[in-house]
C-alpha cells in the first residue's frame, strides 16, 4: 500500500528524511561536522603534543577531520539513500558499539584491580607513611591487620574454606574468576601488612637489612637505608621469596632464578618472617593444594556458611509463636 504523502510506496520516515535534507544544505551540515570533528581532533592533538606531529601527520589529521565531518553531515541531514543504509547498518553498529563499550569497561576494571594490588607498594605512598607521625603509621598497620584477618579467615576456618573450595571447583566460570581475583587481593594485602611492620622497625633502626649477608672477618657493608628499601620494594620481594621458598618440591625460586633479594641478622625479623610463613604462607599454599585435590575428588556441596568471622544470631520464636510450617490450621 502506497503512502499518501509520497504516493510512490516510500515510508513516512524516508519522506521526513528527504524534507530534512532539503531544509539543510549539505555545506552547512558539513560545517557542523567540522566543528564536532575538529574539537575531537584538537583534544587528541593536545594530548599528543604539537611538537610530536610533523608533515604527513598534520595531513593525515586534516583528512580524518574532513572525512569525519562528511559522514557526520549525513547523520545531521540524511538523504533517502543514507537513511536506507543507516537502517541496514544499525544492528551491526549497535553490536560493535556495545562490544567497544564492554571492552573499555573490562580495561577500566583491570586497571582498577591492578592499582588495588600495587597501591600498598607505591614508593610515593610508602615515603609519605615513613615521613608521617608514628600514630598515622600505626593506624595504617591496624587497618591492614583488620582487613588481612577478614580476608584470611575463610582460608583458615575449615568449613568456610571447604565452601570456598567447592565454589572454585564446581562454580560457574564467572564465580571462579572472581575467587581467583580475590585470591590476588588476599596475597597483596597480607604481604602489605608485614611490609609495613618491617618498614616501621627499620624506620626507627630497630632492625637492619643488608644486600649481602654479613660474614665474620670480612668487610661488612652498611645496612640499607629506608629510602632504598622503599624504592626497591626489597621487603616486598623478600616476602614473596619466602612464599616461593615454602614449596620445596617445586623449588620455585631456584627454577625461575629468583635469588634472595634481602638479608637480615636480627632475630626479631626472623620471628616476624616465621609468623608470616605460618599465618599467610600455610593459608595460601594450603588453599591452593586443597583446590588441586578437590579438582580430582569432585567433593559434594558443603553446608552453606558465612564468610564473616562471626555468625548473625536469629531471634527464636516465643512460646506463643509457631513457625508457619508447624502452625495448626
pLDDT tens, per residue, the chain with 329 residues: 444 444 444 444 444 444 444 457 888 888 888 888 888 888 888 878 777 788 888 888 889 889 888 888 888 888 888 888 878 888 887 888 788 888 988 888 888 898 888 888 888 888 888 888 989 999 999 999 999 999 888 888 888 888 888 888 877 888 788 888 888 898 899 999 999 999 999 888 888 888 887 665 455 667 888 888 888 888 999 999 988 888 777 788 888 888 888 888 889 999 999 999 998 888 888 888 888 777 776 656 666 666 676 665 655 555 555 544 444 44
Cα distances (Å, whole numbers) of residue 75 to 46, 69, 188, 302: 27, 10, 50, 58
Per-residue confidence (pLDDT) for residue 142, from 0 to 100: 93
Q: Same domain, yes or no, for 234 and 132?
A: yes
Instruction: Please tell me the predicted confidence (pLDDT) of residue 11.
Output: 46
How does pLDDT run across 128-174, given as a tens digit for each residue? 888 889 899 999 999 999 999 998 888 888 888 888 888 888 778 88
Rg of the Cα atoms in the chain: 32
How many helices (H) and strands (E) are present in the chain, helices listed first? 13, 2
Q: What is the pLDDT of residue 315?
A: 57
Domain boundary among 50, 75, 105: 105
Q: What total number of domains does the chain contain?
A: 2
Q: Does 308 map to a domain?
A: no
* CB neighbourhood size of 189 (10 A): 19
Give the pLDDT of residue 314: 55
| CA 227 and chain centroid, separation | 28
The pLDDT, as a whole number, for residue 18 is 47
**58 and 190, same structural domain?**
no
- What are the cell numbers at 38? 575538529
Chain-centroid distance of CA 13 in Å reads 46
94 inside domain? yes
266 & 231 share domain: yes
Q: How far is CA 250 from the centre of its chain?
A: 29
pLDDT on residue 193 = 92
Q: How far apart are CA 247 and CA 286, in angstroms?
A: 11
Contact 3, 11 (CB under 8 A): yes
Q: What is the Cα–Cα distance from 180 to 284, expressed in whole angstroms?
A: 12
Are 282 and 165 contained in the same domain?
yes
302 vs 141: CA distance, rounded Å: 35
Which residue segment(s) compose the domain that 211 sits in? 123-297
Are residue 148 and residue 252 in the same domain, yes or no?
Answer: yes
Per-residue confidence (pLDDT) for residue 266, from 0 to 100? 87
Distances (CA, A) of 103 to 11, 96, 98: 37, 10, 9
Place of cell 598497620: 141
Answer yes or no: is 322 within a domain.
no
Amino acid at each position: 500500500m502506497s503512502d499518501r504523502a509520497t504516493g510512490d510506496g516510500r515510508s513516512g520516515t524516508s519522506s521526513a528524511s528527504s524534507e530534512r535534507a532539503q531544509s539543510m544544505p549539505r555545506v552547512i551540515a558539513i560545517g557542523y561536522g567540522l566543528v564536532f570533528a575538529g574539537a575531537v581532533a584538537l583534544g587528541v592533538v593536545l594530548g599528543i603534543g604539537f611538537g610530536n606531529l610533523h608533515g604527513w601527520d598534520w595531513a593525515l589529521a586534516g583528512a580524518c577531520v574532513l572525512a569525519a565531518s562528511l559522514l557526520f553531515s549525513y547523520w545531521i541531514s540524511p538523504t533517502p539513500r543514507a537513511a536506507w543504509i543507516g537502517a541496514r547498518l544499525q544492528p551491526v553498529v549497535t553490536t560493535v558499539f556495545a562490544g567497544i563499550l564492554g571492552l573499555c569497561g573490562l580495561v577500566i576494571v583491570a586497571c582498577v584491580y591492578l592499582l588495588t594490588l600495587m597501591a600498598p607498594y607505591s614508593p610515593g605512598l610508602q615515603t609519605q607513611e615513613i615521613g608521617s607521625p608514628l600514630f598515622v603509621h600505626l593506624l595504617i598497620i591496624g587497618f591492614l591487620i583488620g582487613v588481612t584477618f577478614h580476608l584470611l579467615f575463610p582460608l583458615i576456618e575449615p568449613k568456610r574454606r571447604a565452601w570456598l573450595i567447592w565454589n572454585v571447583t564446581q562454580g560457574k566460570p564467572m564465580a571462579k574468576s572472581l575467587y581467583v581475583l580475590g585470591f590476588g587481593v588476599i596475597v597483596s594485602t597480607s604481604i602489605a601488612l608485614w611490609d609495613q611492620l618491617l618498614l616501621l622497625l627499620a624506620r626507627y633502626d630497630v632492625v637492619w637489612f643488608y644486600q649481602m649477608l654479613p660474614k665474620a672477618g670480612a668487610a661488612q657493608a652498611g645496612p640499607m637505608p629506608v629510602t632504598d628499601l622503599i624504592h626497591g620494594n626489597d621487603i616486598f620481594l623478600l616476602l614473596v621469596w619466602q612464599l616461593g621458598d615454602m614449596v620445596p618440591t617445586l623449588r620455585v625460586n631456584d627454577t625461575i632464578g629468583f635469588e634472595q633479594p634481602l638479608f637480615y641478622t636480627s632475630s626479631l625479623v626472623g620471628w616476624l618472617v616465621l609468623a608470616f610463613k605460618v599465618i599467610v604462607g600455610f593459608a595460601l599454599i594450603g588453599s591452593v593444594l586443597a583446590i588441586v585435590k578437590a579438582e580430582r575428588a569432585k567433593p559434594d556441596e558443603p553446608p552453606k556458611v558465612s564468610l564473616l568471622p562471626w555468625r548473625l544470631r536469629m531471634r527464636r520464636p516465643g512460646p506463643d509463636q509457631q513457625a508457619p510450617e508447624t502452625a495448626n490450621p
